[in-house]
Amino acid sequence: MSQCSSFSDAASLQEYGVEVDEMAAQEDFEFKLKGFIDLAMDKSAKTRQTALEGLKSGMASKILYDFLLDRRITITDNLERCLKKGKGEEQCVAAALACLLCCQLGSGIESEEVFKTLAPVLKTIISDRSASTQARQACATYLGLCCFIAADDVEDLYGTMECLENIFSKQYRSDGGTDTCSALHSQALQSWTLLLTICHTSEAKKKMEVHLPKLPRLLSCDDVNMRIEAGETLAVLFELAREADADFYYEDLEPLTQTLKALATDCNKHRAKVDRRKQRSVFRDVLRAVEDGEFQSETVRFGRERMHIDCWVKRLTYGVFKELFGSGMQLHLLANSFLRSIFELGPPLCLSAADIKAMKTSRVERHMNNSAAFKARTKARSKLRDKRADVGEFF
């Protein structure tokens, strides 16, 4: 007589159903991405831009290594065409996509091929004065990041740095006023600083000897973003110099610290209140870094893990990648092996799709949490503002 060894419980059936649903959702997602890849070759600029934005959103929010590996040549050709024929916003999105593609493929031959194909086009746009400032700015940002990810040849690294130097060094000759290229110079300086962090010590020392005496000039620029970028670059350079040489000494330290103190306590009314607040916050940290070599550590939480940002180099690297991935940064920190290797997080933890989904709060939950926090904060403040509360405490 046959016996039933076990019954299929509801939980196992439910998990099986969830897995099937996830597979169907993934197939549907990849089908949409294939459509975007095809539309990126359309004659209409608007259609191409919409397709590029769809691809950008998909690459930022999912791990797509296998899907992209088979289609990298097609996508690279599409991006090259969009960068050459497109204008303005289309070029911006295409440059960002080049970076996302390299991040998805990781540091290897595949991403290096993408970089070698697209880097000359990005450099041409950066140097083209007839191109829109917005496009030149985006290309300066993503050229540096693509090089950081994919360049395996030292000549490619130094050639990219030279291209970026030619851009931001023009700000040295400026009279300190704001011009239409300040944002471009600021992004070029940030990308150059990022690449400096992976240079050989001897080459980094040569670069610092050239730029350390000149960078303080940028602290008097009218553009608050240029001032902040110059300050953060100085903090990174001082950190690198002290790591390379424990006896590092900067001759003009006294006048530099005086300038930094003035920026950290700036109360000029002709500057916007928001800009002053932002500037003071940054330059307090920069002043501590330059004077004493201190850094206020931060902790980034993602899933069940924690990452400590304990130096300026790590802070710069994290900020650049966070700007690229946006809301998808947490997922890539969890599951992107290449990104985890950069921040020395080790191989990805074995997390199921259910675990990752559980870590994400829904829009309704976020709204409810924010509402509860707002009510509690309002209640506490109202109690403190109520004069009767003070009278009651007095008696």
Please give the single-letter amino acid code of residue 18: V
Q: Is there a domain that residue 378 lies in?
A: no
Q: Is there a domain that residue 41 lies in?
A: yes
Q: Are residues 181 and 232 in the same domain?
A: yes
Q: Are residues 181 and 107 in the same domain?
A: no
Residue position matching structure tokens 């939980």: 11
Q: Is there a domain that residue 19 lies in?
A: no
The answer to whether the pTM exceeds 0.75 is yes
Looking at the 3D structure of the chain, how many domains does it have? 3
Q: Are residues 48 and 131 in the same domain?
A: yes
Q: Is there a domain that residue 15 lies in?
A: no
Q: Are residues 246 and 313 in the same domain?
A: no
Q: Is there a domain that residue 368 lies in?
A: no
CATH of the domain at 56: 1.25.10.10
Q: Are residues 238 and 270 in the same domain?
A: yes
Q: Are residues 277 and 313 in the same domain?
A: no
Q: Could you list the residue range(s) of the whole structural domain that residue 78 is in?
A: 25-152
Residue 86's φ and ψ, nearest 5 degrees, are -75, 175
Q: Are residues 204 and 227 in the same domain?
A: yes
Q: Are residues 63 and 97 in the same domain?
A: yes
Domain boundary among 251, 270, 295: 295
Q: Is there a domain that residue 85 lies in?
A: yes
Q: Are residues 199 and 305 in the same domain?
A: no
Domain boundary among 123, 152, 181: 152
Mean pLDDT by 10 residues, the chain (395 residues): 40 49 84 92 92 94 91 94 92 95 92 94 93 93 94 90 92 67 90 95 91 91 90 95 89 91 77 77 91 90 91 95 93 93 88 54 61 69 54 41
Q: Is there a domain that residue 386 lies in?
A: no
Q: Are residues 254 and 339 in the same domain?
A: no
Q: Is there a domain that residue 135 lies in?
A: yes
Q: Are residues 281 and 305 in the same domain?
A: no
